[in-house]
Structure 1
Amino acid sequence: MEFNFDLENPLSGTDEKALQLSKRLFLGSAHSDEPAMLFAAESEHMCSLAIALNQLSTRSHALSVIVQAQFSNNLDPALAYLAANYIDRFLAKSQIPDDKPWIARLLAISCLCLASKMKNIGFSPADVQREEGFIFDARTIRRMELVVLGALEWRMRSITPFSFLRFFISYFPLTNPIIIQSLKTHASQILFKFQSDVKSLEFKPSVTAAAALLAAARELFPADFPSFRSALLCCEYLNKETLAECCTVMDSYDSTTVIDAASNGCDSDYSALTPVTVLDRHRAGLESDKTAGSASNG
């Protein structure tokens, strides 16, 4: 079965009922009652900031692999974003030793493979590994993919900030399609960059989407920004204080750190233990809980 997962419309491509719901969610009125279903489900796709901070080194290393692969291979930003989302969701449920940086690299490559399958985009792990001393074979990558799938309970249609962009844009007093597309594109670029900041995990995807749209509107239409902000604050799903906090964090974020890490390359100090040995141990631990069952069945 082939996928063509769209970050903006996570429900499309499943069944007819979900497809009809997705159309109402993203093409209907901003004042419809149906979006409540998506807002209610977004918390299930969130990651714990506390857990992420506990594995900050692993997360930073894995995301640097994603950024490096994106720059070196001109990957679709949406593919890289989805892969990084899988990494965060995986780390929220699994612990990776800080002294085994090669596991973070294997995780990143495996998540890139999974994201490419979900988006039906050609991706070769060999292209990502060609400049590294250690090469993971296809079998090892495939086994790690199964570990990730098990931890995520095979729920690969992530609800991200992109899922809410169209909904929030409908609150803005805009009718020109070109202007609307420009606003959405600029907000998307902000979201791509902000994902690298671990503090982004503190906020719900919907809040992050609203903050990105406000940041984009302030840059593109400064004279109209107050009216845009007032319109968005009328949304019943948004908390004014939380949105303001997210805007502050987003404004203060500097994405140069992760870009510099990617340009300088990733750590090459790998453990003497083989990937297969540690992966077997890690997978065995996962199989002791409920999430591992779906990986084994898969």
Structure 2
Amino acid sequence: MENFDLEDPLKSLEEHQSDTVPALFSSESDHMPSHNYLHCLKTSDSHVSFRQEAISLILQAQYSCNLDPYTQYLAINYMDRFISWQGIPQGNLWVVRLLVIACISLAVKMKEIHFSFSDFQVKQREERFIFDPPAIQRMELLVLDALNWRMRSITPFSFITFYVSLFELKDPPLSQALKDRATNIIFQARNEISLLEFKPSITAASALLLACHELFPLQFPSFETSILSCEYVNKEMVLKCFDAMQEMVNNEVSESMVDVVTSSSTRTPISVLDCHCNKSESESTINSTAAATVTPENREIKRRKLNGFCRESNMMNISQIQPCE
């Protein structure tokens, strides 16, 4: 299988390049969460908590196992789509971990990346839930079924090159700088629930406009005209998404400034030294405690092998599912 590229999801599937762009716009809705998903997240704390925990685990996998950010974005896409159609299991902490592992597994297979699930689970230091390959494979089948086997996800990255071509930038480094900043904004937006309502093409257009507004303010009016006049673009939705993204970025900048000011005003040479000493003492205590309590016997008692997950059926118990209504 050819390595899947989020920037060109229809690669090798389209014979003619001229057909690719219309196909992207016409198919993107098939790779989004259901329409009720945003409502569920806005009205149900359990949905928000489940999603936050899942994203946190996916990001941990990215940093601890050196996954590229596109792979984690793809895994989050699978997770959002699965929850939106299948609902969230209630009362089982291990299910969120198994779902995350299954989504990561599918993403790394699409990207043809080596990933050791045993290493990841060990690095998590979560010894209550250790999943064997058959359990992971059964969860993968549940995800594949919920997504109708549409794994070549169309994401905002799929539209970046097309939109940049509308700007007609002559300098390749400028085009690359614009792409890089827009990509960072898209990654930043993955946690924003309010941005889930927008199609990938809208998210991409808004991220590029915001990047242009930051990097090339004098050229922003012409860039905005180029995108908003595109036949595939909904002008009102792009402007709405642009405002939401701009607010997101401004809030993050403000929070960062507050953190810097607070840190600068409270950190003195003595406080830094105290912090370093306390940290060393704390690490020493933790290490000694861990050495005293984590024995092979305790480790085996705490470890739960979920070998029997969905052994009798590939479907979850319907009583465990909270659907989006």
Deviation at 1:249, TM superposition (A): 1.7
CA distance in 2, matches of 1:221, 1:104: 42
Query: Among residues 13, 21, 29, which one is paired with 1:35 in the alignment?
Result: 21
Distance 1:198 1:281, change over 3 A: farther
Distance 1:240 1:144, change over 3 A: same
CA distance in 1, matches of 2:178, 2:317: 42
* CA displacement 1:97-123 (0-9 Å, x = unmatched): 242232111111111111111011111
The within-5 A match list for 1:22-101 is: 23-24=17-18, 35-48=21-34, 50-52=36-38, 53=41, 54=44, 55-101=47-93
Deviation at 1:183, TM superposition (A): 1.0
User: 2:241 — aligned with what?
Assistant: 246
Query: Is the Cα–Cα contact under 8 Å of residues 163 and 227 in structure 2 kept in the other structure?
Result: yes
User: 1:132 — aligned with what?
Assistant: 126
Deviation at 1:68, TM superposition (A): 1.3
Distance 1:140 1:46, change over 3 A: same
SS of the counterpart of 1:39?
helix
Structure 1 vs Structure 2 CA RMSD = 2.5
User: 1:220 — aligned with what?
Assistant: 215
CA distance in 2, matches of 1:281, 1:47: 28
Query: Is the Cα–Cα contact under 8 Å of residues 197 and 255 in structure 1 kept in the other structure?
Result: no
Pair 1:113-2:68 in alignment: no
User: 2:227 — aligned with what?
Assistant: 232
Deviation at 1:188, TM superposition (A): 1.1
SS of the counterpart of 1:74?
coil
CA distance in 1, matches of 2:2, 2:93: 31
- Partner letter of residue 47 of structure 1? P
TM-score, structure 1 normalization: 0.79
CA distance in 2, matches of 1:182, 1:158: 25
User: 1:166 — aligned with what?
Assistant: 161
CA distance in 2, matches of 1:176, 1:212: 20
User: 1:13 — aligned with what?
Assistant: 12
User: 1:269 — aligned with what?
Assistant: none
Number of residues of Structure 1 aligned to a counterpart in Structure 2: 258
Query: Among residues 143, 157, 180, which one is paired with 1:185 in the alignment?
Result: 180
Deviation at 1:213, TM superposition (A): 0.5
CA distance in 2, matches of 1:118, 1:255: 32
Deviation at 1:159, TM superposition (A): 0.8
Considering only CA atoms, is the larger Rg found in Structure 1 or Structure 2? 2
CA distance in 2, matches of 1:286, 1:8: 37
Query: Is the Cα–Cα contact under 8 Å of residues 310 and 316 in structure 2 kept in the other structure?
Result: no
Q: Which runs of 5+ in 1 are unaligned?
A: 26-33, 257-272, 288-298
CA distance in 2, matches of 1:132, 1:172: 49
CA distance in 2, matches of 1:152, 1:240: 29
- Partner letter of residue 220 of structure 2? F
**Identical aligned pairs, as a percentage?**
47
CA distance in 1, matches of 2:186, 2:313: 32
TM-score, structure 2 normalization: 0.73
CA distance in 1, matches of 2:181, 2:174: 11
Deviation at 1:173, TM superposition (A): 3.3
Query: Which moved further from structure 2: 110-119 or 176-185?
Result: 176-185
SS of the counterpart of 2:37?
helix
Distance 1:140 1:61, change over 3 A: same
CA distance in 2, matches of 1:277, 1:58: 23
User: 2:294 — aligned with what?
Assistant: none
Distance 1:281 1:59, change over 3 A: farther
